[in-house]
Structures are given as C-alpha cells and as structure tokens.
Chains A and B, each alone.
Chain A
C-alpha cells in the first residue's frame, strides 16, 4: 500500500537529496496554473451568483473581475432557482440518470471483463485492446455517432434494429423517456472501457489458488463468482463506480449534443440546465447559482463517498 511513502522515506535517507520543503517550489507553478483557471473562476462565479448579471450589464464599463453595472441582489437567484420546478426536475433527472447509468455501466463493464478474462477465450488480450478503443476517441466524436444512431428518422441504426425485431420506430430524441434511454445507452458505451480496464486488472489479481480451492470444494461457476471473484474485485470496482457516478452527474455533452436536454427542457441534466440558462437565455446570475448548487451536490456526494467508502486510504497512497 505504501510504496510511495517508502520511496520518499528512502530518498530522505540519502544525504545529497535532503528532506527539503524547497521542493514545494517545483509543485507550485502547476498548482498556481490550476487554481488560476479553476478556483479563481469559482470564486468569481460565487460573486456573479449574487448579482443580476447579464451580458448587457456585466460587460458594461469594462474592468477586470468587476461586476460591471450588474446590481447586487442578495440571495434572489438562489431563491428563484430553489423554488423553480424546472430546476428540481432537472436535478431529479440528473440523479435518476446517475443511478440508471451507473447500474448499466457496472453491469456491462463487469460482464465484458468476465468474458475477456475467461481462460477459455482465445485471443483475449487482443480483444481487450480492441474493446477499450472507445475510451481513446474524442467524446464529441462518439456522441455525435450515437446521435446518428438514435436519430428519429427511419434510417437511424436504433430504429433499423427495432424494425428488424418487428417493433415500430421510435422518435428517440423527441420524447422524454426514449431520449433518457438513449442518454443511458450512450453513457454506458462511453464509460464501459474504463470499467473494463479496472475490473480486468482487479480480476487478474485474484489468486488462482482461491478458485482452485473453491473448485475442489465443488463450487459451481456462479457460487465461485459470488464468493471468490466478487469479494476480491469489490474495492476497485467500488472506487471506479464512485468516480464514474461523479462523471454521470456532470454529464454535459450527451444531452447537449443529442437534443439540448430536450424535449422542452425535460431532460436537461443539471449542468446543461445551468449552461443554457446562462448562455442561451443570458441569465448569468441565475446560471451561476444553478452551477454552484450543482457543485455543492457533487461535492457532498464525493465527500460522503470518500469518507464512507474509506477511499481516502487507497487514494492517499496511490
């Protein structure tokens, strides 16, 4: 577990490279760059969320990091957001999306990983490297392909498949739940390589002896799966699940590229909701409030997971 700290300890023992806090200087440029483009805008965003900022008043008068001619409105934006049904619908849809897509991602990832680590499969290594190619593709590329697949027109691949199965065609992106299903399938496809990588490397660490011992005891495939395989891969898969749940919560590109979170704003996952509020409807203050509420939610979610899932022990050492 503590390979890193041991290396650091050993280096500390070498006289020429002394333990020196000067080394912090090597890290600071990166930290500063990251903070300048991440934390600093966050603070400014907090400021904007207390004003009635719009492009017309925010950019009036010039100046850097001022609020232009926007006026301070206190908590008005937050009140407006938190009493707005559309916002709660968006947040609800987002959490539903996190739940459904997570189940799908874990299911597919675990299933595929089991298939390509099965010892009877010939050429498994080759298949594995092909399988995780989608991870190396630009997200906008993948998502626009899937938008083509789910196009409402008859020639869309999804509709072709449906009609081949004898079902009618579906106007995928023009109805709420079909669109939601389309999001889920796409997210599943985007995320499965990550799950496969992590699960495969965890599966390969499961000692062969455990399986053999279980076999000697007469355990069948499924009882071996539940009693040997699953407990051994639980923690890496849990870790991956939390990370990919966070990714689902912040999903922007799929709803945005598919139908702008439509139809009629019904499927706007929360980041899309905030983005459109700000850039489509020019309500910067409102958008900032939405984004910050979303950040609070994801922050609380991550914090809870890191604490409850004891992930910090693992990550801290990683």
Chain B
C-alpha cells in the first residue's frame, strides 16, 4: 500500500508542477517586465529572450502537431470538417464525441438474477441486480460499434502474463548483475545492451522460424504463447535498465543490514527492492507495454477473434471505408493511457536512458 500511496503522491506532485508551470512563467514574466521598467534589463535582452522562447514554442508546436491533428480529427464528428474542401481549420466546426462512442460501444452491466438455495429447506433467495448502463451507444446514434472491447480483453490476456513472466526473470537477474560477481557477468551485460537495440528487427527476422515452431506445436493463435515470446523480448533492455537503477543504491545500506545480522534474502527484500521502487515501476510499465504495443508478431500469429489492440487498429486503417474520425478516436483511446503513463514515468526513463557513464 505504501508503494501505491508513494506513486499517488508522486503523480500529484507532477500534476501540481504541470498546473503551476504557467503561473510561474506568468510571474516570471511580470518580474521581468518590472525589471525592465526599473531599467535593470535592457530592451534588446528582453526581446532576445522573447524571440528565442517564441521560437522554442514554435518548434514544440510543429513537432507535436500530428498529435493535435489526430485529436481534432477524432472529435470532428462525421470526419469531414478538419480536412474540408475549404481547407484546413484548427478546430472542427461541429465537434462531437460520437466517434468515441463508436469506439467504446455499449457499456452496460446486464441485469443478473442470482439464486441462492437455503440449505435443508425449499426456500430460495433470488436477487435481481438492476441493469447498469454507463453508456448506451444507440442513444448517440451508433448502431454498430467497434470491436474495441474485444481487442482490449485480448490485449489484457496477452500483456498481464507477459508482465508476470518477465518480472520473474528480470528482477533476480538485475540484482545479480548489479550486486554479484560471477563468470560471464560482463559478457551477459554486454550482450544485453547490444540486444536492446537490435532485438526488434531480429525478432521479425526470426519470425518465419518462430511462426513455424508455433504452428508445429499448435501454439499459433495462442495468446499465452505470445505472452511468453513478449516476455523474452523484454528481457535484455529491462534487465539492463533495472540493473542501472540498482547500481545507484549505496552499498553501505546493505552492509548496515548485514552487520545487523540480516540474511541475504532479507537484504534483497527489505533494502534493495524498496529502494529500487522507481526502477521497478519503470520496468513494470515497459514490460507491460511490450505486450500492449507489439504489432508485427501479433498480426502474424493471431486470427481475427484474438486480435490485440494494435492489430485491431491497423485492421481499421486497412479498410478504406472507415471514416477518419472513427479511426482517430480508436487510435486515441488506445494510445492516450499509454501517453499519460509515459508522461509521468518520464523522468525515470530519461534517467535510465541518458548513458550517464559515457564520456569522451
């Protein structure tokens, strides 16, 4: 529980920071204007700062424009407004959430009748639960919603086992690589670092053989077999990442625990793991996302009823009849939770990726 509350407080912190940034910037701008009035800052300096900042904002806006564009397409209702014949407009004329309703479809918990027989009597208690409708698609004029929910369930069935299996092999390995010395240690580490970058393409290169193997044992179209594969691909990068976090924990903490007479496993459980919580969180997110976002292998292995979300998304785009607005809404619903998680995990990811040991 303490881990959860810590994560919650971190998120609250970040959110507060995000909300405060505009206010702080405004305050800073006001101070600067005051300084300018007093004559502490010259007009050229002020102008230069404003110009450079403006340029930076422009760069950010241009680079992030595709995301804005897809968001605008998603709420453009019929899908005709963002790219209407009259040219591009920054905001659709008739914004509508209908495409999102199409993605989610009905969110209805059906009415259930639960019967409990009272023992030794003929009595039976019957509970009728009411139907709970969060969202009724037909109210919004959507008759034929997307398969989003089905794909979502498939993705969960793939991603959760991926996460569990991957964590089971990654955590001990990261600990050993960080804290113990053994034969082949450097070779393993070096191999892992190399495979972090060439793994994706190798996976596709080996896909022919992998597919043949899965078919031969009848495991193609099996979501759990796919999860095992994803867990395997997640091993090199995440082991290495978690190891670099564990390297940051001072050895003196362990020594203190050892001096107090704690057995090695307690040192690991009560010192190392809690202190590498940030790394564990990052690795958890990454291994989960491995299964959540992979496309090529899933597309090759799975048949339509077992499609995961990325495959379902791509199946949409391959049908030319699909309106752009619906596709955008589907894509955003799939990607925005990932994007949010990533925003909050960002500083940890940056820390792990900066190759801080590399110098000229």
CA A115 – CA B240 in complex, angstroms? Answer: 31
Does the CB pair B354–A30 fall under 8 Å? no
CA A10 – CA B249 in complex, angstroms? Answer: 13
Chain A nearest CB from B190 CB (Å) reads: 6
Chain B nearest CB from A269 CB (Å) reads: 10
Q: A4-B247, A37-B228 are in contact. Are A136 and B339 (CB under 8 A)?
A: yes
Residues 152-182 of chain B, each 1 if its beta carbon lies under 8 Å from chain A, else 0 = 0000000000000100111011011111111
Does the CB pair A59–B215 fall under 8 Å? yes
**In the assembled complex, B95 has its CB within 8 A of some CB on chain A:** no
CA A134 – CA B288 in complex, angstroms? Answer: 18
**In the assembled complex, B11 has its CB within 8 A of some CB on chain A:** no
Does the CB pair B175–A26 fall under 8 Å? yes
Q: Tell me the B338-360 residues at the A interface (CB within 8 Å).
A: 338-339, 341-343, 346, 350, 353-360
Name the one of B49, B183, B208 contacting A291, with C-beta atoms under 8 angstroms: B208
Does the CB pair A197–B213 fall under 8 Å? no
Does the CB pair B197–A246 fall under 8 Å? yes
**In the assembled complex, B217 has its CB within 8 A of some CB on chain A:** yes
**In the assembled complex, B4 has its CB within 8 A of some CB on chain A:** no
Q: A37-B229, A236-B355, A257-B314 are in contact. Are A8 and B181 (CB under 8 A)?
A: yes
CA A139 – CA B331 in complex, angstroms? Answer: 11
**In the assembled complex, B239 has its CB within 8 A of some CB on chain A:** yes
Give the one of B56, B204, B232 with max A CB within 10 A: B56
How many positions in chain B have a CB within 8 Å of any CB in the partner chain? 115
Chain B nearest CB from A178 CB (Å) reads: 18
Name the one of B29, B70, B233 contacting A145, with C-beta atoms under 8 angstroms: B70
Name the one of B53, B175, B233, B354 contacting A120, with C-beta atoms under 8 angstroms: B53
Q: A33-B232, A201-B354, A250-B198 are in contact. Are A26 and B172 (CB under 8 A)?
A: yes
Chain A at the B interface: SS class: helix
Of the listed stretches A84-92, A166-174, A271-279, chain B binds A271-279
Residues 225-255 of chain A, each 1 if its beta carbon lies under 8 Å from chain B, else 0 = 0000001101110011001001101111100
Chain B nearest CB from A12 CB (Å) reads: 5
CA A232 – CA B360 in complex, angstroms? Answer: 7
CA A271 – CA B204 in complex, angstroms? Answer: 7
**In the assembled complex, B109 has its CB within 8 A of some CB on chain A:** no
Does the CB pair B176–A26 fall under 8 Å? yes
Q: A3-B247, A189-B63 are in contact. Are A157 and B173 (CB under 8 A)?
A: no
Name the one of B87, B178, B232, B296 contacting A160, with C-beta atoms under 8 angstroms: B87
Name the one of A38, A135, A136 contacting B202, with C-beta atoms under 8 angstroms: A38
Q: A37-B233, A136-B339 are in contact. Are A288 and B201 (CB under 8 A)?
A: no
**In the assembled complex, B189 has its CB within 8 A of some CB on chain A:** yes
- Which residues of chain A are within 8 angstroms of B36 by Cβ–Cβ distance? none
- Which residues of chain B are within 8 angstroms of A121 by Cβ–Cβ distance? 52-53, 56
- Which residues of chain B are within 8 angstroms of A316 by Cβ–Cβ distance? 186, 189-190
Q: A8-B179, A318-B193 are in contact. Are A133 and B64 (CB under 8 A)?
A: yes
Does the CB pair A129–B186 fall under 8 Å? no
Residue of A nearest to B208 (CB): A278
Chain A nearest CB from B260 CB (Å) reads: 11
**In the assembled complex, B321 has its CB within 8 A of some CB on chain A:** no
Q: A30-B170, A62-B216, A192-B63 are in contact. Are A133 and B88 (CB under 8 A)?
A: no
CA A214 – CA B173 in complex, angstroms? Answer: 47
Residues 93-119 of chain A, each 1 if its beta carbon lies under 8 Å from chain B, else 0 = 000000000000000000010011010
Give the one of A24, A41, A240, A288 with max B CB within 10 A: A41
- Which residues of chain A are within 8 angstroms of B211 by Cβ–Cβ distance? 279
Does the CB pair B198–A246 fall under 8 Å? yes
Does the CB pair A41–B350 fall under 8 Å? no
Of the listed stretches B100-108, B112-120, B138-146, B250-258, chain A binds B250-258
Give the one of A12, A292, A318 with max B CB within 10 A: A318
Does the CB pair B83–A118 fall under 8 Å? no
CA A251 – CA B198 in complex, angstroms? Answer: 11
Residue of A nearest to B264 (CB): A17
Does the CB pair B334–A29 fall under 8 Å? no
**In the assembled complex, A266 has its CB within 8 A of some CB on chain B:** no
Subset of 19 A-B contacts with CB under 8 Å = A1-B359, A9-B181, A33-B228, A37-B232, A112-B59, A116-B59, A131-B60, A136-B343, A137-B339, A138-B295, A141-B335, A155-B83, A155-B84, A252-B296, A275-B296, A294-B205, A316-B189, A318-B240, A318-B358
Per CB-CB distance, the 8 closest pairs between chain A and chain B, nearest first, are A250-B201, A136-B342, A155-B83, A23-B180, A37-B232, A201-B354, A26-B176, A30-B169
